Structure 1
Amino acid sequence: MSTTAGTEEISRGLLGSSAALSYDPETEVDWSAPLPADKHGLNPEWSVLYGTPLWREMTEEQRVTLTRHEVCSIMSTGIWFEMILQQLILRDQYVKDHASAEFRFALTEIADECRHSLMFARACEAMGVPAYFPRRPVVEAARLFKAVGTAEAAYGGILVAEEVLDVMQRDAMRDERVLDLVRTTSRIHVVEESRHMRFARAEIRDRVAGTGRLRRQAAAMSIAVVAYVIVTSLVNDGVFAAAGLDPARAREEARRNPHHHAMMRSSGAPLMRFLGGAGLLTRPASALYQRVHLL
């Protein structure tokens, strides 16, 4: 599919922004700094258990441990999903005009994502938290998705993954209760992912412009399925055991936690507005977003 003049112009601007403002985690993050025992991995209010009876019973040490494992679970899921998206983007850009700004920014984005994945991996290692992965059926289904997924699903996936986490990471950047390590990695990710989100919006507008009803319905549903998988994979059940909690009780209280549901809806609001404006917030798609409290 050819690139519209609008997407090409946006891509040129993003290339200029990337050249002017990009970060090298190797030098921007103080990897040798000690990790204070009382600092959280993410804002306590973003914990899936915040506000529950179980949260009130936990010691402060357990809360710190839980939030550190939660943020590392989110980072691990991010690494897994970015590896899928990089393959989808490469397939989409295969034999496209190498001189186009769109092609060059797509590869710039992939380079950014490689750095981000390395940064997140190193951050989890620094916090002493093991890698967390989605459930085995999800991992295996993703093997097929990354081989046959559409461009709409790829760029929609970028929006879902980054928009949902953007509010959380902006909160982490500003909160002195959070580890400096996480605050710095969040700042790097927020700045660079803002370009990726703008690129993804332009690509999605291109793909759905002038498409028929059936293709638009299919695109809307594929993006919603991606959103459902991402959101339900962010926090691995293993984080509860790591904090010394009863996993079954913690899982149930997290599932029913109205505070966390409200936080997710607030973080998903910009995404829902964009999808609605693009005609991609269909009734079946909306039902899936409601199940994961993005709508």
Structure 2
Amino acid sequence: MTAHPVHSYWITNSGREGAIGSPDARFPYWSFTKTVIAICALKLVERGALDLDENLSGKPYTLRQLLNHSSGLPDYTQRRAYHRAVAAGERPWTREKLLSVTLAEGMLFEPAQGWSYSNIGYMFVVDLIEATTRQPLHQVINAMICKPLDLHSIRLARTPEDFHHLHWEAARGYDPNWVYHRCLTGTAQDAARLLHGLMTGDLLQPATLRQMLAAIPLGGALEGRPWVACGYALGLMSGAVQQAGTAVGHSGGGPFSVNAVYHFPDACDPVTVASFTDGTAEGVAEFAAAGLAVAP
């Protein structure tokens, strides 16, 4: 079995921090970006600019349902044509083609009548954030999250060149515009600090954070991964993992790397861990993060 070098950073509630691997290396955050998008949307809810539970204009679903994947929208990653196009190095599809291919068979179910992971739903949340703030997403993230937490490495990838300086050499051949809800990049340290700031109350009001943490239970163990109970909240995977107990955060993966960014509140000194590695098995990064959560 090929070993996958893991780069990790952790920070505890008492202030202890540590790293494994390259502290200055920058990685794609993949679906951990969803957590960041959800934080921005919820901050707009706090300001009264958005409502979690009103149907969006002309749509059958709400912001909450988009954020917890209960809207009934399908996902482009379920389409073989999408994966073939990415593997072939084609130019990213236009938005019109993406929606035509993905929505060809309509909704998967009526809103709130099921659960299905949808990147399309998060693309629509980004649309809503940008329309409400009248600012591009990268400016919103910088103002709402990076500046308050003093995070300097995080960038929103907008061109293939934005991937050229990432740690994995394979990143140089990838166009981040294939990630239609956008893809953040940054260090493991800043990923850990971002989630830790969220979970320790530095980004959202207590009532809003409680809303964000309210999870839909989705089942038990997953083969090849540490989960023994799974759920999904608002931009957060939420459940329990072997040995480390409760885990709240997000995993992510693309064609050449994976990551797991989680807060483990059941640890003696609650800890947030961000782990990044190559390959396509998210379980590798998840096991690494969970292992650090129970390390002495």
TM-score (norm 2): 0.29
Task: Flag the structure with higher helix content.
Answer: 1
Q: Which has the larger radius of gyration?
A: 1
Structure number with the bigger relative contact order (C-alpha 8 A, sep ≥ 6) is 1
TM-score (norm 1): 0.29
